[in-house]
Structure 1
Amino acid sequence: MSQKKVPAWVTVALLPAINVLVAFLVSALLFVYIGVSPVEAAKTMWTGAFGYAEGFGYTLYYATGFIFTGLAVAVAFHAGLFNIGGEGQAYIGGLGVGLICLTLGDVAPWYVVFPVAIVAGGLFGAAWAFIPAYLQAKRGSHIVITTIMFNFIAASLMAYLLVDILKPEGTMATESRVFAAQSWLPKMHEMLGAVGIEMASSPLNLSFFFALLCCLFVWLFIWHSRWGYEIRSIGANASAAGYAGINYLKVIVLTMLVSGMLSGFFGLNVLQGELHQIKLNFVEGFGFTGIAVALMGRNHPVGVLLASLLFGFLYQGGAELSFEYGIDRNIVVVLQGLVILFSGALEHMFRPSLERTYLKLFAKPDNGAA
């Protein structure tokens, strides 16, 4: 008998949905333990994240950051690289964005500063990814180790710059001066207000649309370009790709440059769009959470977008939950950890039983000869 196959959507869409559902069910037990109704907690989180315009704006604002870091991890993964350095690359990329806003913001409007900041953020992020990429391709140094180390170097470099170079005189705060107001990215409620549509104030800004363009770029780059084909070939079988004439060094460096560039765009949303100054630790773990976003999204731009919305929901809904019930904000970290656990480390736990169940219920009988 011929082997029966399970449709791709079962493992690409249904399995992640089941994993997330199980994570939420385990979270429900946690809420019962701390004396909060899981149903009421779920309602509060949903309402806080999607139930009103301001909360929805915050959800999309958080999701924007996750899109950048999630895409960065996804691109590297297609070449067989596990880029753990999104945190540092976003940090240094944000430095590039901030320097442009500090220098050009006084003399040019945001629509001039924005494209230059895109280039600077991308270049700074890519440059920070270049050395680990070269060491991996040329010297065999493992990308996981080098990118982790570069996260620490980035943190130390930023601390030095903010304490000794960029900090204005007369203040002890580890932050740069505020960017000129004309360099700030327009907020979503401001853009809608200009055309007569009222929306509650939120940090959601123009960089959200740029993040969507990055999703389109990654889709075209990975699946509809020669470079993307070479990247996927290296990720599938580096030895076979080498025999086919694909340059391993070139592909690894190119992949990490694109990955670092995408992480570097993170500063557009947070610095130029919301904080309007360079602050210490402004990345706040988004680079590491991007790993979970990419894993949940199966390293596809559409999946990354949906996973980013989920984590944006957890961030904003968790904040609302903390405000409503006085629960420690760290409970959100636990929720994220459970989602990462079941969608990452245990992502295939339910796969065998799910495939057997699907074949039993929906597969057509095979009457063909052996």
Structure 2
Amino acid sequence: MNASPPSRHPGATAAAAHPADPAGSAALPPPRFAFDAVTWKEILNLLLNLPLTIAGFVYVVTTMSVGAGLSVTVVGLPVLAFSLLGCRLLGRLERARARALLGVQVEEPRPLRPGTFGFLPWLWMTLKDPVAWRTALYLAIGLPWGIFTFTVTLTSLFVAWPVLPWLARGMSSVDRALVRGLLQPSDELERRIAELESDRGVVVDTAAADLRRIERDLHDGAQARLVALAMDLGLAKEKLLEDPEAAARMVGEAHGEVKIALQELRDLARGIHPAILTDRGLDAALSSVATRCTVPVAVTVDLVARPAEAIEGIAYFTVSELLQNVSKHSGAARASVDVWRTDDRLMIQVRDDGRGGADVSAGSGLAGLAERLDSVDGLFVVASPVGGPTVVTAELPWRDRDFRR
């Protein structure tokens, strides 16, 4: 069932993110001759530059010098690490000042979280913390700039106050640039790290839920049936000599129970990772899923190669759950599944002509699917107006299959 994916897919591409203002705040109006609130905040910030930069400079020079000087001893590196932690705290204060007086909305960097517990992992992570080192640089170079801005601002208040709003705006623009350049997180890299840490939690929770489901299905289904089967066979063994006919009937019933238990185990294994997906790929596996849907489903898979096993499995279970929703909730007469590749993305689209009204934010199974795809850098978009039709588009990152074994 391979055909080129038509261009009809309305949700095939993800919505582009709106570019954010790099300043993190709205553009400031040009200064006026009158001293407005923005100008007074800028003047206050410039006057505070001197005492705060002196304190920061003294802290950095003193603690860094002591830590570097003692680095050949056991206590040197811990002293340097605690010095960097102090720089992080001073950076937080400087970001708060920038938000309050300069209107610069700078994100807070992610907290330090060593991957393993212990003093040495903490020490190593602290010593290589880029946020702390950039803050130390900010504090070290701030003293000459603080002296300059304090002197010019204080002098202008008594000598050149008519042009002070323009002077304050110009010097404050330099302050804003320093804050954005040295005190905000490392743009996409650190934000991406924070997102991946959050996604890792989703993956762990999902895996734990799947394990609990498998354990529950085994305990309540096949395991209970096999226990009953063992008891029936034990009774049949006891009756084998005294009542062979009754024993034969019990063995026949046990044989039927064995068939049911095997089917339950097959269904459970298929829920973990179906053999048809491993052996024949998405085309055959999704066609098999479609036959279990209560409405006719047209399946089109246009893939020249197979993606990585993990991506293929996520795609399979995504379509499987969506078709279950079609069977249970849509009231549709027909549905379709299209799978194709666009650049480095695996695209999935499931349509039905049902009643519509599906909503990811309603806390349904769709929300769980969205979280699962988000945890692997995927996207999940639902277009389902009341009255239908419903179009669900999913994107997954394409990774090539590794055939080395």
User: Same fold per TM (> 0.5)?
Assistant: no
Structure (1 or 2) with the larger CA radius of gyration: 2
User: Which has a greater percent of strand?
Assistant: 2
Structure scoring higher RCO (CA < 8 A, sep ≥ 6) equals 1
TM-score normalised to structure 2 length: 0.20
- State the TM-score, normalized to the length of structure 1: 0.21
**Structure with greater helix share of residues:** 1
